[in-house]
């Protein structure tokens, strides 16, 4: 390979100092937030920033020493700034190692719930049409085990995957055989509404170390309004079967996700309290996805991102108050952002990384054999938009599915270091991109950053968390408790 | 009508800012324009040494004086960003390349050569 870079010593200044790469944001009140390439950050006065860039900063001042320690500048006695920054950069991007780790199997599109925001499910007795066949499952597993990832995760989704439990059992048993043969650990997650879970299923899940992820939207008057089913008893079934599942599998083997509807917006405290009452140590406050039925029913469930953010701020304040009173309870999205802001580690969250996780971090094997770049891609497909179909397990080779033009386009369109608007954004090391969200909401995979709801949400939340961390000593202590290794993830 | 000392309000309600192209590069001006496309309609044109930016309100109730003032301040920030990026881009590329590549990308011709070999042609460049 042709050498293209001069060695580090070429850049070392003989006198004065040199800048290291960083971006900045205006915090108001003549203050600027500086963030370097690996997420180290510092708040300084606007005139200090101007002096820094003009190379007139006093080398004995506190701000100079802070800037030097956090890798915003280097001088003749700086210790290995390039090597340190390189190691940190590699760590931050280590989610790229191993390529596709998360493999989602849409085991059945059938469901007995008819949730108002559900993107995909069908209330249908037609197993032939909406369940994944044994052959499709086997061919999907062939692709999963072609992935070079050293650790694999298989997640079963639907519809309600438990309606096709025999197929889940076959896939887990076969995947375990293949994992043993290739000496690679494989984890299993079943995303289920829990309403139909039986002792036989729980026994199998316990024997095979399966993790469950369920849905809980809050107290009964919210949950049952969002998630209708025959008998309108969804909440009661979740609560009953949550306890059974915890007894069978262990308390921490079941997580829950909530989806925010316009009804939820009025009740942030009640939703948080319900999670607390049911013994969860975290909640993931999620806005509704702009796909599928959620779009069709926008008039009843729709709200703006600013309304969601107001809801989020209120819920987070309540969560912090719960922690202040001595109970550990985290908000999962804040926890994710805080890890990205305050720790050097990578976070494996496919919806917030650069390049985006679609295809290279996650793949979805649909019940009908089609392979999609993400869960959202198959939701678009249910709206007859197959743009992000990577191929089909029965017809296409691994190389064509995972090395084809769609995966390449998605990766190239989601490197925020080079996207318009994002390239100059100080919050870049904490953020990511979501080309499929932007395609769904703005008609373009790159998106228009100034009007993007993805940008609005992440910029607002990052600023809000930074502000709380700076101004509120209690919040700071609580945030650190969420991101230390002992805390639940 | 002048709404800020450097901003002229046009009869059609838009605001015009004439920018010295020697002070602010076209790249800096376009990045600033892009950042303002959420709150306004922006058009840029060049005439010799000046780049003219025309800003129109998206909504009749928008405060164009504030938008024009914020735009002017943002120009200064984007120019500062360009200065930082210009000074640090080689270091940034080095860090990213070294982080991603197991192979050795460093060009040691400078550090492992002497003035006789003059690999970069320094002696002959003047």
Q: Do A7 and B111 touch (CB under 8 A)?
A: yes
| Residue A77 and residue A128 in one domain | no
The total number of residues written for chain B in this structure: 126
Domain end point (choices A92, A127, A154): A92
Domain end point (choices A370, A401, A432): A401
Picking from A208, A226, A206, A207, the residue whose alpha carbon sits closest to that of residue A216 is A226
Q: Do A82 and B98 touch (CB under 8 A)?
A: yes
Residues of chain A falling short of pLDDT 50: 1, 488-489
Is the Cβ–Cβ distance between A363 and A152 less than 8 Å? no
Query: What's the pLDDT score for residue A12?
Result: 65
Return the number of CB contacts < 8 Å for A and B.
100
Phi, psi of A389 (to 5 degrees): -80, 120
| Structural domain range at position A448 | 414-471
CB distance from A53 to chain B under 8 Å? yes
DSSP class per residue in A239-284: HHHHHHHHHHH-GGGEEEEEE--TTGGG-HHHHHHHHHHTT-SEE-
Residue A487 is assigned to a structural domain of this protein: no
Q: Is residue B77 pLDDT above 70, yes or no?
A: yes
Rounded distance between C-alpha atoms, residue B124 and residue B106, angstroms: 24
Query: What's the pLDDT score for residue A94?
Result: 84
The percent of residues in chain B predicted with pLDDT above 70, rounded, is: 81
Question: Chain B residue closest to A20 (CA)?
Answer: B88
> What is the number of alpha carbons within 13 Å of residue A21 lying toward its C-beta?
24
Rounded distance between C-alpha atoms, residue A121 and residue A125, angstroms: 12
Query: What's the pLDDT score for residue A108?
Result: 94
Q: Which residues lie closer than 8 Å to B55 by C-beta, 6 or more apart? A: B14, B15, B16, B17, B36, B40, B41, B42, B64, B67, B68, B71
Q: Do A21 and B85 touch (CB under 8 A)?
A: yes
Q: Is residue B41 pLDDT above 70, yes or no?
A: yes
CB distance from A328 to chain B under 8 Å? no
Q: Do B37 and A26 touch (CB under 8 A)?
A: no
Q: Do B84 and A19 touch (CB under 8 A)?
A: yes
| Residue A425 and residue A337 in one domain | no
**Mean pLDDT of the residues in chain B:** 86
Query: What's the pLDDT score for residue A9?
Result: 66
Query: What's the pLDDT score for residue A350?
Result: 82
Residue A488 is assigned to a structural domain of this protein: no
Which residues in chain B are closer than 8 Å to A24, comparing Cβ atoms? 77, 80-81, 84
> What is the number of alpha carbons within 13 Å of residue A299 lying toward its C-beta?
1
Query: What's the pLDDT score for residue A66?
Result: 96
CB distance from B111 to chain A under 8 Å? yes
Which domains can be identified in chain B, with CATH numbers? 2-88 (3.30.70.60)
What is the domain count for chain A?
3
Q: Do B37 and A90 touch (CB under 8 A)?
A: no
Question: Chain A residue closest to B83 (CA)?
Answer: A53
Element (H, E) at B83: helix B64-100
Residue A34 is assigned to a structural domain of this protein: yes
Q: What is the pTM of this model?
A: 0.89
β-sheet bridge partners, residue A45: A31
Question: Chain B residue closest to A89 (CA)?
Answer: B99
Question: Chain B residue closest to A96 (CA)?
Answer: B100
| Residue A450 and residue A321 in one domain | no
Query: What's the pLDDT score for residue B111?
Result: 62
CB distance from B95 to chain A under 8 Å? yes
Question: Chain A residue closest to B104 (CA)?
Answer: A3
Rounded distance between C-alpha atoms, residue A263 and residue A301, angstroms: 8
Residue A489 is assigned to a structural domain of this protein: no
| Residue A225 and residue A284 in one domain | yes
CB distance from A50 to chain B under 8 Å? yes
DSSP class per residue in A170-239: HHHHHHHHHHHHHT--EEEEEE--STT--HHHHHHHHHTT-EEEEE--SSHHHHHHHS--TTS-HHHHHH
Q: Which pLDDT band, with edges at 50, 70 and 90, does B124 fall under? A: low
Tens of pLDDT along A362-419?
999 999 999 999 988 988 888 889 999 999 999 999 989 998 999 999 999 999 999 9
The percent of residues in chain B predicted with pLDDT above 90, rounded, is: 58
CB distance from A10 to chain B under 8 Å? yes
| Residue A16 and residue A146 in one domain | no
Strands (E), B1-126: 2-4, 7-9, 15-20, 40-47, 50-57
CA distance B97 to chain A (A): 9
Query: What's the pLDDT score for residue A6?
Result: 74
Q: Do A424 and B78 touch (CB under 8 A)?
A: yes
| Residue A125 and residue A166 in one domain | yes
Tens of pLDDT along B7-27?
988 999 899 999 999 999 999
| Residue A284 and residue A330 in one domain | yes
Phi, psi of A360 (to 5 degrees): -90, -20
Q: Is residue B105 pLDDT above 90, yes or no?
A: no
CA distance A375 to chain B (A): 28
Residue B119 Cα distances to B64, B114, B115, angstroms: 56, 8, 8
Q: Is residue B98 pLDDT above 90, yes or no?
A: no
Angle at A260 between CA A388 and CA A132, to 5 degrees: 40
Q: Which pLDDT band, with edges at 50, 70 and 90, does B112 fall under? A: low
Provide long-range contacts, Cβ within 8 A and 24+ apart, for A357-360.
Answer: A357/A95, A357/A102, A358/A388, A358/A407, A358/A410, A358/A414, A358/A435, A358/A436, A359/A100, A359/A390, A359/A402, A359/A406, A359/A407, A359/A410, A359/A411, A360/A96, A360/A99, A360/A100, A360/A407, A360/A410, A360/A411
Domain end point (choices A92, A122, A155): A92
């Amino acid at each position: 390979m042709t050498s293209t870079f001069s060695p580090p010593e070429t850049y070392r200044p003989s006198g004065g100092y040199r800048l290291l790469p960083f971006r900045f944001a205006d915090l108001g009140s003549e203050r600027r937030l500086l963030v370097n390439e690996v997420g180290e950050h510092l708040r300084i006065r606007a005139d200090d920033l101007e002096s820094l860039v003009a190379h007139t900063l006093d080398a004995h001042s506190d701000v100079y020493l802070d800037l030097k320690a956090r890798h915003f500048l280097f001088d003749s006695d700086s210790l290995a700034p390039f090597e340190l920054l390189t190691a940190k950069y590699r760590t931050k991007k280590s989610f790229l190692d191993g390529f596709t780790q998360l493999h989602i199997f849409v085991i059945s599109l059938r469901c007995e719930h008819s949730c108002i925001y559900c993107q995909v499910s069908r209330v249908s007795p037609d197993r032939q049409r909406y369940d994944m066949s044994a052959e499709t499952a086997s061919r999907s597993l062939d692709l999963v085990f072609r992935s070079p990832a050293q650790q694999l995760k298989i997640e079963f989704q639907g519809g309600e995957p438990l309606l096709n439990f025999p197929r889940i059992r076959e896939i887990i048993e076969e995947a375990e055989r293949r994992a043993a043969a290739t000496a690679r650990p494989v984890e299993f997650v079943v995303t289920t509404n829990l309403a139909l879970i039986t002792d036989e299923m729980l026994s199998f899940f316990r024997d095979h170390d399966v993790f469950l992820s369920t849905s809980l939207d809050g107290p009964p008057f919210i949950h049952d309004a969002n998630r209708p089913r025959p008998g309108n008893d969804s909440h009661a079934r979740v609560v009953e079967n949550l306890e059974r599942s915890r007894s069978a599998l262990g308390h921490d083997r079941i997580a829950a996700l909530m989806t925010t509807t316009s009804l939820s917006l009025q009740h942030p405290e009640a939703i948080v309290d319900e999670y607390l009452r049911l013994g969860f140590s975290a909640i993931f406050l999620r806005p509704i996805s702009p796909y599928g039925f959620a779009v069709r029913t926008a008039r009843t469930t729709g709200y703006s991102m600013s309304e969601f953010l107001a809801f989020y701020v209120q819920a987070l304040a309540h969560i912090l108050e719960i922690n202040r009173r001595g109970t550990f309870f985290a908000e999962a999205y804040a926890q994710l952002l805080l890890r990205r802001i305050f720790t050097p580690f990578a976070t494996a969250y496919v919806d917030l990384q650069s390049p985006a996780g679609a295809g290279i971090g996650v793949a979805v094997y649909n019940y009908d054999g089609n392979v999609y770049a993400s869960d959202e891609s198959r939701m678009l497909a249910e709206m007859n938009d197959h743009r992000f179909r990577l191929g089909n397990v029965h017809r296409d080779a691994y190389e064509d599915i995972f090395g084809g033009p769609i995966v390449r386009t998605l990766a190239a369109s989601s490197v925020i270091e080079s996207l318009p608007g994002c390239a100059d954004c100080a919050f870049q090391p904490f953020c990511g991109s979501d080309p499929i969200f932007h395609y769904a909401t703005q008609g373009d995979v790159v998106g228009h950053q100034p009007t993007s709801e993805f940008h609005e949400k992440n910029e607002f939340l990052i600023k809000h968390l930074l502000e709380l961390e700076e101004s509120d000593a209690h919040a700071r202590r609580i945030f650190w408790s969420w991101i230390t290794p002992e805390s639940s993830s | 009508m002048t709404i800020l000392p450097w901003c002229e309000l046009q009869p059609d309600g838009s605001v015009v800012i004439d920018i010295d192209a020697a002070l602010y590069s076209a790249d800096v001006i376009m990045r600033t324009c892009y950042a303002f496309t959420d709150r306004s309609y922006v058009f840029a044109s060049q005439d010799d040494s000046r780049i003219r930016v025309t800003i129109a309100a998206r909504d009749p109730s928008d405060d164009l004086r504030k938008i024009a003032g914020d735009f002017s301040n943002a120009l200064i920030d984007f120019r500062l960003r360009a200065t930082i990026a210009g000074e640090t881009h080689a270091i940034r590329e080095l860090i990213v390349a070294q982080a991603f590549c197991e192979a050795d990308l460093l060009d040691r011709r400078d550090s492992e050569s002497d003035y006789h070999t003059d690999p970069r042609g320094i002696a002959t460049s003047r």
